[in-house]
Every structure is written in C-alpha cells, then in structure tokens.
Structure 1
Amino acid sequence: MDFTPTQDQVAAADLAARIFGDLSTPERLAAAGTGTDPELWKALGSAGLPGAVEETGLLGLVLMLEEQGRTTAQVPFAASCVYGLLAVARHGTSEQRDRLLPGLRDGTEVATGAFPARAGVRVDGAETGETGSDGGTGRLTGVVPWVPWLRDASWVLVAAADRGLWRVRTADAGCDAVELTAPWSAGRLVLDGAPAERIGGPGAYDDILAMARTAFAGLQAGVCEGSLARAVEYTNEREQFGRPLAAKQGVQLRSADAYMDTEAIRVTAYEAAWRRDEGLPCAGHVLTAAWWASEAGRRVVHAGQHLHGGMGADLEHPVHRHFLWGRQLDAYLGCGGELLAELGDLIAGGEGSGTEEAGATWAARK
C-alpha cells in the first residue's frame, strides 16, 4: 500500500488549508452560529474544491476534510461531497450526472444525506427508470429524526427501509430545526408523499455509506488534531509554580496518548480511502477507520478539553468546539459498539459487502 498523495491531492489539501485557515477564525465561527458561513462556502466553490473531489478521489477528500476539521469550519463540505457529488458521479445515470453535478461542483447546490437507512421511511408508487433500478421515481413517507446540514441543503439523499436511495428536494419535504451536540445546521426531515427520484441500484447504499464513514473519519482526524494542537499550545504557555504545565509528566503522557489516537484515526482513514480509490476490498478497513474515529476520537477531544483545565469548561473557548464536533462525530453513522458488531459479522461471513462490485461498476462507467 502507498498512501503518498498525488500532486493534485497535495495541491487541493494545501488550498483547502489556506482557505479554512484564513476564513475559519474563532470570531467568524461564533458569528456563524449553527448555519453555514456563506463567504467561506462561496470561497470553496470559487476555488473549485468540491468539484476537485472527482479527480482527487476519496483520499483527496479525506485530506481536505482534515483541514476543515482542524478549524471546525462551519460548512457542509463532507455531506455535500459524499451524499451529493460522489453519490451522483458514481451511481447516477448519465442524465442525472449532466443535470446535478454542475451545481454540486461549484457549490451553488448543497446536498446532504439521511443515513443510515431508516425502517420508518417507505416508498410508494415507485416507477422504474430506463436503466432498470436506476433513475426511477416514487414518493417517500416517513420521518428521519435528524439530518446534518439539512437546513442549508438544496436536496437530501434519503436511504429508505429497503436501502434504496432517493433524492428529495428539501422544498418538497418538511424540515424542523433540531439542536445537535455540534453546532451544525441540522433538521428533522418529515416526508409525506414527497416526490423523489432514485439514485443508483443494488450496492449503491453500501458504497455510499462506506464512503461517508471514511470521509467523516478523516474529518474526525482533523478535529482531533486541532484539539490536541490547542492543548499543546495552552500547556506550553500556562505556567504553574514557575514551570509550564507541559513540563509535567502527567500532561506529557495524556498528550502522547492523544497523539497516538489521532494518528490511528488518520492512518486507518487513509488506508480505507486509498483502497476504495484503487478498487480493492475495503469493507473491513472502512469499519476499522470508523471505529477508531468513534472510540479514539472521543478520547482525544476529552483529553484536549481536560488539558485546558478550567478554561476547557468555558463554552466560548475554541477548544470546546472541537469537543462538541468530536462527540457528534463519534456516534454519527454508528457508534463504536455498533461498528464492532458489523465488523464481527463481516469477518464471520467473509470479506466483502458489495462495495467492490459497485466500485467496479463506477470504474466501467468512467
């Protein structure tokens, strides 16, 4: 395996780092509240970063999401790229790609996803499209308790009870604001016969869920690195009895553990993304990355806040955002125990969950 990024991936990550670093200051984040920072989102679209994901692949997206996580930038970058751009590019029909991708590439359209599949979401009056299971229409009924970035999205990719994927315009569905642990612009999705179009066929759900888990693991790696960086800076500046807190062995050990956990999240996310881009079996690697993002991510953001002492309890302190994001991400798309159960079932049944077949289908289309 070779995780060395390509020149295009490095260039995209460097550009993302500059944009996030310049525009995701604590002051701007505070002003954004739970909504998207429109200036930042416009800058990302103008720079072509959402569209670049088609060329840089999932590993390139993971690298860019690390940069977002370091600053906890208030934009739906991960959701729109995974549930929108990559979902349509890999599983949409030719007509759907021509119609939907331009807006997703430049950021004028924002997508999100109602994942994982919900037992209460049913499809009525489904009609098959020209390509069989792709591109059909139907009407969705059901409720999804919360969907990240729903209030900023143009449309949502809904995973129905049968794991079929349906694109629903937010204008055709009900959206009630909900508060999450992280300050994301989330909403409760209410579907009452909402018109929908099918995206993809068999295997699409597993493939997109795997991409989402990998992408959000990359985001968690950045969140953890940002939290740890703030803790290191604080403990080197804060003195107690004439010595920096960082000189104390207990602080050093806690920081070292957090560093190792962060690196574990990063390397497993890189491996899962690289294998997915190369068309190699990756189902177990995705679950491993998601498990590290959940379990280790929670430990790291707790350590980052704890190492700030009393300052870490200040809700206005920047490290508290990392804590909130880390806790939100540790349970999104499956908490640690659920992921281990899935991994155990996968190992018991043999490697493979349909994602490799879906990847081969996408490669053939390209």
Structure 2
Amino acid sequence: MDFTPTEEQEAARDLAARIFGDLATHERLAAAGTGSDAELWKALCAAGLPGAVEETGLLGLVLLLEEQGRRTAQVPLAATCVYGILAVARHGTEEQRARLLPGLRDGTTVVTGAFPAAGGVVAQEGRLSGAVAWVPWLRDATHVLVADAERGLWLVRTEDAARMESVELTAPWSAGRLVLDGTAAERLGPGGDTGADTGAGAYADVLVAARVAFAGLQAGVCAGALARAVEYTSVREQFGRPLSTHQAVQLRAADAHMDTEAIRVTAYEAAWRHDEGLDATEAALTAAWWASEAGKRVVHTGQHLHGGMGADLDHPVHRHFLWGRQLDAYLGCGTELLAELGDLLAKGEPS
C-alpha cells in the first residue's frame, strides 16, 4: 500500500489549508458560536473542494478533513462529502447522480446523515416514520441520508420533515433532532420503495466511509491541539525556564504525538483500501477506535499542557477539546467499536 498523496490530492489539501488558514480564525469561530460559517462554506465550494472528492477519493477527503480539524472550522464538509457526494456517486442511480451531484459540488445542496442506524426509523411504501435524537449539521442541511431499521438508505428533504428541533452538542455542529411522520423519502439507488435489494450493502459502505472520514477529522483536531500545546509550552516559563524543557511535559507531548500519528496512519490505510475497492470494514473500525480512544487522550493532553489557560472556555484549545470529545463518541465509542471489531474477527470474515 502507498499512502503518498497524488498531485491532485496534494493540491486540494494545500488549497484547503490556505482557505481554512485565512477564514477559520479564532475571531470568526468565536463569532459563529454554535452555527456554521456560511462564508467559509461558500469559499470552499467556489474553490471546487467538495466536488474534487469525486476524483481524489476517500483518502483525498481525509486529507481535506485533517486541515479542517486543525482549525476546528465549522462547515458541513465531512457530512456533505460522505453522506452526499460519495454516497450518491457510489450508490445513486444514473438519474440521481445527474440531478443531485451538481448541487452537492457547488454547495447549494447540503446533505447530512442520520447515522448509524439505530432502528428508530421505519420505512413503509416510500415513507419514513420515527425520530433520530440528533443529527450533525441538520440545521444546515437541505437533505438527510436516513438509514432505516432494515439499513436501507433514503434521502429526505429537510423541508419535508415533520419536525426539526435545534440540539446543542458538545461540539458546535449545528445539530438537530429529526422527527419523521409518514415523510416522503427517495430511495438511494435501485431497489424500488422497499429498501430491500442492496440497501444493507450500501449502508455498510457509507458507514465505513463515514468512520474513516471522521477519523481523519479527528487526526486534524488532535494535530491542532498538540500544535497549540507545543507553541504555548515553548513560551510559557516556570521556575525561570520554558515549560517545554521539563521532561514530564516532553513525555506527555511525545505520547500525544504518537497517538495522533496512530489515528492518521490507520485512517490513511482504511481510506486507501476503500479507494482501491478492497474490504475496508476492519480497517475502518480500527481507525475509528484509535480516533475515539487516542483522540480523547490527545485533546485532554492539549488542554492539560495549557495549565490554567486550558480551563478558559474562550481559549482556542478548548474548541479542540470539545471537538475531540464529540468525535470520541460519534459513530460508536471505543468499547462499542472494539466489540464490533471483535465480532467481525470472531466470524473469520476477510477484511
């Protein structure tokens, strides 16, 4: 396997880094509160970055999300690319791709996902009923990719939902509670209105992509938290010398660096397998487990190494802490992921 980015992936990553660096500033993030940054989202879409994922693949998306995570930039990039662009491109019909992808590329269509399937939504004759307690970026979305109790995939227009209620999460992800009551839905891909056909296979593929993408986002969040900690301890003095010269600080930072690299490399491997058409289920669970378990260690370290400043809710490092803790539990916490991985290995299914 080769994780070396292609020229196209590198170019997209570098462009994303510049845009996030210019617009996802501490002042703008503070002003956004718990909402998304509409101007930043327009800039990313005008640069063609969401649409580029069709060519650069899941590994290319992971590289973009690392840059987003470094800045904790509040835009629905991961959700729209995973639950929208990649899901429609890989599993939509030819008609759905022609109709939906142009809006997804230019940002006028924003898709989020009611994932993972928890059995709370039932499909009957092309209509959905049930509720999802919280959906990330629901307040920004024009469509929601909903997984029903049978793991079929359905696209629902948010304007058709029976009710959407604002929900505040640990991280400022513009989330909402989704209530469906006989809501009209469009089956993603072939298979008619029943969701039978290959729905479960499409659901599994989207879940794998989501776990890998959000692991990549966590790698960026951790890298950003660690970079802030290194900068702070290099200038903050204690007993007449910088904190960074103390062995305990160095060891803590070194452990955080190794944890961050573990998240990154496992996310890269899983993304590479997915792009190569190989079974990436086991690799995605591994990446997601590292993102959960190691991720929370790193963001705790980032806050701890800031000392008393880490307790300041307005300090930039606190956003990394909030994002890291949210990503720790999204799509399965560490123990749940480990149990799922154990079941997969026990069945002896090839990865």
Pairwise same-fold verdict (TM > 0.5): yes
Instruction: Identify the residue that residue 346 of structure 2 maps to in structure 1.
Output: 348
Equivalent position amino acid for 1:274 in 2: W
Equivalences for residues 277-296 of structure 1 within 5 A: 277-296=275-294
Count residues in correspondence: 341
Alignment of 1:108-187 (within 5 A): 108-125=108-125, 138-173=126-161, 174-187=163-176
User: Which residue type is aligned with residue 8 of structure 1?
Assistant: E
**2:141 corresponds to which letter in structure 1?**
A
Distance 2:84 2:350 in 1: 24
Distance in 2 of aligned mates of 1:72 and 1:300: 15
Deviation at 1:352, TM superposition (A): 4.6
**Structure 1 47/295 Cα, relative in aligned 2: closer, same or farther at 3 Å?**
same
Distance 2:349 2:24 in 1: 41
Shift of 1:350: 2.1
- Which residue in the other structure is 1:332 paired with? 330
Q: Percent identity?
A: 79
Match in the other structure for 1:252: 250
Q: Is residue 203 of structure 2 the alignment partner of residue 205 of structure 1?
A: yes
> One-letter code of the match for 1:144?
V
Deviations along 1:270-321, one digit per CA (max 9) or x if unpaired, are 0000011011222111100000000000000000000000000000000000
**How big is each residue's C-alpha offset from its partner over 1:74-118, in whole Å with a ceiling of 9 and x where there is no partner?**
100000000001000000000000000000011111100000012
**Counterpart secondary structure, 1:193:** strand
Who is 1:32 aligned against?
32
- SS of structure 1 residue aligned to 2:98: helix
Where 1:330 maps in the other structure, the secondary structure is helix
Aligned-partner residue type, residue 248 of structure 1:
H
TM-score (norm 1): 0.92
Give 1:7's aligned residue.
Answer: 7
Task: Determine if the alignment matches structure 1 residue 310 to structure 2 residue 308.
Answer: yes
Q: AA paired with 1:95?
A: E
**In structure 2, what is the Cα distance between the partners aligned to 1:96 and 1:350?**
36
Structure 1, residues 2-53: CA drift from partner, whole Å, max 9, x if none? 1011000000000000000100000000111111101100000000000000
> Could you tell me which of 178, 185, 194 is aligned with 1:189?
178
Q: Which residue of 1 aligns with 2:264?
A: 266
- Distance in 2 between residues matched to 1:319 and 1:214, nearest whole Å: 24
Given that 1:284 and 1:351 are in contact with CA atoms closer than 8 Å, whether structure 2 keeps it comes out as no
Give the corresponding residue for 2:195.
none
Q: Any conservation in 2 of the 1:231–1:308 contact (CA below 8 Å)?
A: yes
Q: Distance in 2 between matches of 1:75 and 1:283?
A: 27
Counterpart of 2:230 (choices 224, 229, 232) is 232
Q: Please tell me whether the aligned partners of residues 282 and 352 of structure 1 are also in contact (alpha carbons under 8 angstroms).
A: no
1:73 counterpart SS class? coil
2:173 maps to a residue whose letter is W
For 2:321 and 2:35, locate their aligned partners in 1 and report how far apart those are by CA, in whole Å.
Answer: 18
The separation in 1 between residues aligned to 2:280 and 2:173, in whole angstroms, is 29
Assess if the C-alpha contact under 8 Å between 1:291 and 1:339 holds in 2.
yes
Q: Supply the distance in 2 between the matched residues of 1:335 and 1:352 (Cα, whole angstroms).
A: 23
How far 1:349 moved relative to its partner? 1.0
Structure 2: runs of 5+ lacking an equivalent:
190-197
Task: Look up the SS of the partner of 1:281 in the other structure.
Answer: coil
The Cα of 1:172 is off from its aligned counterpart by 0.7
Structure 1, residues 169-221: CA drift from partner, whole Å, max 9, x if none?
00011110011000110000000111001113331000000000000000000
**Which residue matches 1:79?**
79
User: Which letter does structure 1 place at the counterpart of 2:59?
Assistant: L
Residue 90 of structure 2: aligned partner: 90
Where does residue 17 of structure 1 map in the other structure?
A: 17
Query: For each residue in 1:103-157, what CA deviation from the matched residue of structure 2 results, as whole angstroms up to 9, or x when unmatched?
Result: 00111111000000121210122xxxxxxxxxxxx11000100000000000000
Q: Which residue of 1 aligns with 2:193?
A: none
Q: What is the rounded CA distance, in whole Å, between the counterparts of 1:233 and 1:71 in structure 2?
A: 15
* Equivalent position amino acid for 1:106 in 2: D
CA RMSD of aligned residues (A): 0.8
Question: For the structure 1 residues 352 and 121, does the alpha-carbon distance in structure 2 shift closer, same or farther, using more than 3 Å as the test?
Answer: farther
Gapped regions of structure 1 (runs ≥ 5)? 126-137, 354-366
